[in-house]
Structure 1
């Protein structure tokens, strides 16, 4: 069973790309995994408008913590 790509999935890819530019020494696979985890944590959110912002904040925080 395949899953449809949604606009939100495309936004998650864009977030991963932005974070890859911000954290060039971190492998893109690791960045994508962090973005996926942050996105999954918000899977049950009823209001989806702010999910991308929250995902990017959480992923950035995790990546900063991992870099220190």
Structure 2
């Protein structure tokens, strides 16, 4: 794993932390699973600069919907 990949993974882990803090009614493991699923949607894509931002945006929608349910 190169430095860029490691930085992306750290950023995605921070997404989990932010969402868990913002939506305490949703179990951390559920948030981790949602973030992982959203992150895997970008597998194989060449441009990686905005992946953590895009992952957070799509995962936030799903976690927010769970909190409301």
Residue in 2 that maps onto 1:58: 58
Partners in 1 of 2:32 and 2:47 — Cα distance? 23
Residue in 2 that maps onto 1:10: 10
Q: How many residue pairs were aligned?
A: 65
| Structure 2: stretches of 5+ with no match in the other structure | none
Q: Which runs of 4+ in 1 moved over 4 A?
A: none
Q: Alignment partner of 2:43: what SS?
A: coil
Structure having the higher helix fraction is 2
| Structure 1: stretches of 5+ with no match in the other structure | none
Residues 36-68 of structure 1 deviation map (CA, whole Å, 9 limit, x = unaligned):
000001112211001011000010011122233
Q: Is 1:49 the equivalent of 2:46?
A: no
Deviation at 1:7, TM superposition (A): 1.4
Q: TM-score, normalised by structure 2?
A: 0.84
Partners in 2 of 1:18 and 1:67 — Cα distance? 14
Q: TM-score, normalised by structure 1?
A: 0.85
